Structures are given as structure tokens and as C-alpha cells.
């Protein structure tokens, strides 16, 4: 059975992106999945000076070792001021120093959500532009605007978005076979 890593690119305990990514993983058939928490991979703020003067951070080592375990990934990007969250970008930067292909040339369902009407569109575009250079084979994407209006009681509450997410997860599932 294939196994995927699932995470919301945020350190928020109540991350709406982690909720969406976990929900999406539940739509993929015949897989096992782990929900990763970025808080489990603490690293210092990246700088070349720290990199040259210190041992490679334990949190980044652990993150890289964790990513090696999976056949694919579902990632939902949180958007802070139109970009990645600082915690995700920092961890991503550290991880890429040991393995430039952070996503191991494996399938990635790339998503974003936000409370606003654009659904993280800006950070989703950034991920689409950047992730392939970091070893992501983006199979599909999904954006959910107005999270609190469209995600209720642990599931999507809008037929149009439900159909779009089901299509995205089906394409991701197909890429795993």
C-alpha cells in the first residue's frame, strides 16, 4: 500500500490548511497517510553563516528523513502576506540544503485555503512556480476560498468545490499507481 505525507504549511495548532489537507487525504483511496506537524521540525532561522558555523539542524535532518518515507505528498499552503509562512519557508530552505529535491520527485497535490475570497491564490501560484524545481511532480491543485463558509463540520459544504477537490484527489491518486 502506498503511503503519503500530508501537511498544512503552517505552525498554527488550528491550521485551516492542515484541516483541508487531512480531509483531502481521506478522499484518496487505497493509501495510508501521516499528517505531519511542522512544529515537530524546529530549526533556527536560515542563514549561510549559521549553516557554515553549526551542525545541520536536527529538525531539518528529521524532516528530510521523514520525507524519504513517502510515495507522495498533499500540501496545503497557508498564505501570510501573499507568500509562504515564515516557518514553512525556513524549514523548506534548510531541508533543501541537504536534498535539493525536497519532494523527492514524487507526486504532490498542491492546495491552499484562506478565510478570504482568493483562497490563498498568491501562495498557490508561488508553490506552483517553485515546487517543481524542488522535486515536486505537481499532479493537481486546489484552492478553497472563504474557508469558514465552505468547510463545515469537517468537510466541504459546497458542491462545486467538492467536485473540484474530488477531481484533484483522483488525479493525485492515479499518479501514485
| % of the chain at pLDDT higher than 90 | 95
pLDDT band at 177 (very low <50, low <70, confident <90, very high): confident
What pTM was computed for the model?
0.96
Residues 6+ away with beta carbon under 8 Å from 104: 67, 68, 70, 135
The CA radius of gyration of the chain, in Å to the nearest whole number, is: 16
Domain around 57: 2-176
Task: Output the domain CATH number for residue 162.
Answer: 3.40.50.360
Q: Are 108 and 131 in contact (CB under 8 A)?
A: yes
Tell whether the model's pLDDT for residue 54 goes beyond 90. no
Count of domains in the chain?
A: 1
Contacts 24+ apart (CB under 8 A), 36-45: 36/5, 36/6, 36/7, 36/66, 37/7, 38/7, 38/9, 38/10, 38/11, 38/87, 38/88, 38/91, 39/11, 41/66, 41/91, 43/90, 43/91, 43/94, 45/90
What pLDDT was estimated at residue 53?
85
pLDDT band at 3 (very low <50, low <70, confident <90, very high): very high
Tell whether the model's pLDDT for residue 55 goes beyond 90. no
Amino acid at each position: 500500500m502506498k503511503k503519503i505525507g500530508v501537511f498544512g504549511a503552517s505552525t498554527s495548532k488550528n491550521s485551516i490548511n492542515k484541516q483541508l489537507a487531512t480531509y483531502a487525504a481521506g478522499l484518496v483511496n487505497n493509501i495510508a497517510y501521516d499528517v505531519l506537524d511542522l512544529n515537530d521540525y524546529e530549526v533556527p532561522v536560515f542563514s549561510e553563516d549559521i549553516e557554515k558555523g553549526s551542525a545541520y539542524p536536527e529538525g531539518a535532518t528529521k524532516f528530510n528523513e521523514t520525507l524519504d518515507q513517502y510515495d507522495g505528498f498533499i500540501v496545503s499552503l497557508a498564505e501570510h502576506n501573499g507568500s509562504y509562512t515564515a516557518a514553512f519557508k525556513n524549514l523548506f530552505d534548510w531541508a533543501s540544503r541537504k536534498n535539493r529535491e525536497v519532494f523527492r520527485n514524487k507526486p504532490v497535490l498542491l492546495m491552499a485555503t484562506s478565510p478570504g475570497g482568493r483562497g490563498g491564490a498568491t501562495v498557490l501560484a508561488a508553490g506552483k512556480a517553485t515546487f517543481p524545481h524542488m522535486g515536486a511532480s505537481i499532479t493537481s491543485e486546489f484552492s478553497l476560498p472563504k474557508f469558514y463558509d465552505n468547510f463545515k463540520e469537517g468537510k466541504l459544504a459546497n458542491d462545486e468545490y467538492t467536485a473540484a477537490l474530488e477531481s484533484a484527489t483522483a488525479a493525485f491518486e492515479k499518479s501514485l499507481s
